Structure 1
Amino acid sequence: MSFQSIVGQERVKQMLQTSIRTDKVSHAYIFTGPSGSGRREMAKAFAMAMYCKVLPDDACGECLDCRKVEHGNHPDLHWVKPDGASIKIEQIRELQKQFAYRSTASGLKMYVLESADRMTTQAANSLLKFLEEPASHVVAVLITDNGQALLPTIRSRAQWVPFLPMARNRMKELLLAEGQSPLLVQAAVHLAAGPEAAREMIQGNGFAEIRNLVIQLARESLSRLPSALLLSQQKLTKGELSDKIGLWLDMLILWLKDMVQLGTGHQQELVFSDQLDWMAREALSRPPVHWITCLEQAVETQKRLRFNANPQLTLEHILIQLKGV
């Protein structure tokens, strides 16, 4: 893993490489941005570049230190992930204990906190004390989906490094060049922030099946609602795809955005372009406000499911809404 091996995030790479080359590395960084935008890979590349004995501002991937970071056994690099639902105070105390010892020949100690916004209050306060008294050769990287969720006092003591989603067209080019399915790529680049995440999505179990199920349930809802309600129960709420309800809703929202476009006379960048004929007919059979209302309802359904609403009832409601009865 090196900076050069990471696709995209050029501004972040340039900033980190310049800081290493000019010996102006901050004592703490917050890598904030959407999941899949390359934050974890960048943290690993940053660590490898910091410890590399060959290159001045990147990782050679060959020296002993690079290989130790790559394999997760460098003695001076500590990677902390949530223990269950959160990062607990015991984990931060163990980190502080490890940092009380002198570093090895590298002279640098580094720690990375994944999902840093999931620290308990006690853990965050303990970390704050750590950050308030930075040792001269300690570097921290806090990875988070939402940097604003961290304590203001932690944010003020770290350098903010925003990660932006890669442009969809660029992601699409990369994935199509790999030979990925064009129809699956078109959906994945709307749901992922970077090519790695999109690739994992496409190759993961059930992605293609969920796309087909969105089409099937949409068609059934518009023509044979009782059949759609039964199918959604068999496949989604009580079937083998019950753990993919969130993905199904994400994909349904993309389908509804297509319907809004078609209903208003547009056909640019359709996700479900292979279904254009019947979708265009259905889109024009109802006023655009119908599809906009359905889209709003689907987004609201996502929120309700996050707060443990009954999946079967919420999905039935959105299918009934599609029909417009």
Structure 2
Amino acid sequence: MEYKDVIGHDLVVKSLKKACENHKMSHFYIFEGQQGLGKRSVARVFAKTLLCEKKGIEPCNNCNSCYKFDNRIHPDFKEVYPEKDIIKKGQIDELIKFINSSPFESEKKLIIIDEAHLMNKEAQNSLLKSLEEPPNYIHIILVSSDTKNLLPTIRSRGQQIRFYPIEGDKVADYLLNTLQVKKEHALFLSKLSNGSLGRAILLSESEDLFIRRDWLLELIDGLIRKEGFRIFAAVDYFYSNKDFTEELLQILMLWFRDLAVYKMTKDINFVINRDKEEFLLKQSFMDFELINDIIEKIQETSLNIQMNVNFQLAIETMLLKIQGEV
């Protein structure tokens, strides 16, 4: 893995390279941002760079250190992962032993703690002691998609580097050119994933995603034509697919966004669901105000479900709004 393999995050990479060039690397970083952005990949390249014998702004990929890093046998590199969705104090205690021993081969030691927010309180307090006065040879990188669950005292000690969603065209290009995803599907997935390449890749591997989309479009078509009987079957469908609630609501959001755009422009090139022009034509009679109200209701439904409001009631109310009954 090299920086050239990283999709997006040009400013982050530039900043890390600059730190190496000026020899002003922090002993403690926090890489934060939503899941699937590539934070861990960047952390690994940065760690590999700091351990590289050439001491450049990126790894040389030719020295013994780079070879050992790529083969995961470098004695001065340690990566910690959650075990059953938690990082316990025992794992951090073992890590502290690694921190307190001098480097074996390099001048530095590098540590990455992935999903660091899953450290329990005891583990975080144990790590905190090592962060107060870290040895000069230590560099620690916490990777997290939920930094609010890190102790304030930990957050305040780290140099926080924010990772933002990747540009949609870069995600789509990767899906199209690397994974050979259909062009129309690549565009749709790049939007559905909210700029998360990792999530886009997972979605591209789903056999049922586009089946669920087709089901939703048929449902919408029936609801706006006042086929009220569909609501009861739809609530059951949402309930039996609870694990995909966020995905289903996002598909609905993208669809009604497309409907508004297509109604205004009549140009398929401006929409995300480009392979569904037939449905857009059939549904473009809907009133703009109703479309906007539906979009707001979908957003409200998503928030209500996150707040554990009655699931069935939230879905029923949203479907009634689509039908134009509330």
TM range (shorter): 0.7 to 0.9
Q: Secondary structure at the match of 1:258?
A: helix
Q: Does 1:9 align with 2:9?
A: yes
Q: Find the aligned partners of 1:70 and 1:314 in 2 and give their Cα distance.
A: 49
Pairwise CA distance, 1:311: 4.3
1:33-52 pair list within 5 angstroms: 33-52=33-52
Pairwise CA distance, 1:212: 1.9
Q: Which residue of 2 aligns with 1:136?
A: 136
Q: Which residue of 2 aligns with 1:199?
A: 201
Q: Find the aligned partners of 2:280 and 2:196 in 1 and give their Cα distance.
A: 29
The residue type paired with residue 171 of structure 1 is V
- Quickly say closer, same or farther: Cα 1:69–1:197, change in 2 above 3 A: farther
Q: TM-score, normalised by structure 2?
A: 0.86
- Assess if the C-alpha contact under 8 Å between 1:217 and 1:232 holds in 2: no
Unaligned runs of 5+ residues in structure 2 are none
- Assess if the C-alpha contact under 8 Å between 2:115 and 2:142 holds in 1: yes
Q: Which residue of 2 aligns with 1:116?
A: 116
Structure 1 residues 93-130: Cα deviation after superposition (integer angstroms, max 9, x where no partner): 22212322232111322211222233333333332222
Pairwise CA distance, 1:205: 3.7
Q: Secondary structure at the match of 2:157?
A: coil
Q: Does 1:221 align with 2:223?
A: yes
Q: Does 1:301 align with 2:304?
A: no
Q: Which residue of 1 aligns with 2:285?
A: 284
Pairwise CA distance, 1:204: 2.9
Q: Find the aligned partners of 2:205 and 2:145 in 1 and give their Cα distance.
A: 23
- Quickly say closer, same or farther: Cα 1:226–1:66, change in 2 above 3 A: farther
Q: Does 1:182 align with 2:187?
A: no
Q: Find the aligned partners of 1:284 and 1:14 in 2 and give their Cα distance.
A: 49
Q: Find the aligned partners of 1:87 and 1:68 in 2 and give their Cα distance.
A: 26
- Assess if the C-alpha contact under 8 Å between 1:262 and 1:284 holds in 2: no
Q: TM-score, normalised by structure 1?
A: 0.86
- Assess if the C-alpha contact under 8 Å between 2:187 and 2:272 holds in 1: yes
Q: Find the aligned partners of 2:266 and 2:152 in 1 and give their Cα distance.
A: 44
Q: Which residue of 2 aligns with 1:125?
A: 125
Q: Secondary structure at the match of 2:142?
A: strand
- Assess if the C-alpha contact under 8 Å between 1:117 and 1:146 holds in 2: yes
The residue type paired with residue 229 of structure 1 is F
The residue type paired with residue 209 of structure 1 is I
Q: Find the aligned partners of 1:216 and 1:34 in 2 and give their Cα distance.
A: 32
Q: Does 1:68 align with 2:68?
A: yes
1:236-315 pair list within 5 angstroms: 236-238=238-240, 241-262=241-262, 269-286=270-287, 288-315=288-315
Count of matched residue pairs: 321
Q: Which moved more, 1:41-50 or 1:257-266?
A: 257-266
Q: Secondary structure at the match of 1:284?
A: coil
Q: Does 1:23 align with 2:26?
A: no
Q: Find the aligned partners of 1:197 and 1:227 in 2 and give their Cα distance.
A: 31
Q: Secondary structure at the match of 1:139?
A: strand
Q: Find the aligned partners of 2:222 and 2:65 in 1 and give their Cα distance.
A: 58
Q: Secondary structure at the match of 2:96?
A: helix
Q: Which residue of 2 aligns with 1:211?
A: 213
Q: Which residue of 1 aligns with 2:78?
A: 78
- Assess if the C-alpha contact under 8 Å between 1:78 and 1:111 holds in 2: yes
The residue type paired with residue 153 of structure 1 is T
- Assess if the C-alpha contact under 8 Å between 2:51 and 2:109 holds in 1: no
Percent pairwise identity: 26
- Quickly say closer, same or farther: Cα 1:276–1:48, change in 2 above 3 A: same
Unaligned runs of 5+ residues in structure 1 are none
Q: Which moved more, 1:311-320 or 1:290-299?
A: 311-320
Q: Find the aligned partners of 1:290 and 1:156 in 2 and give their Cα distance.
A: 46
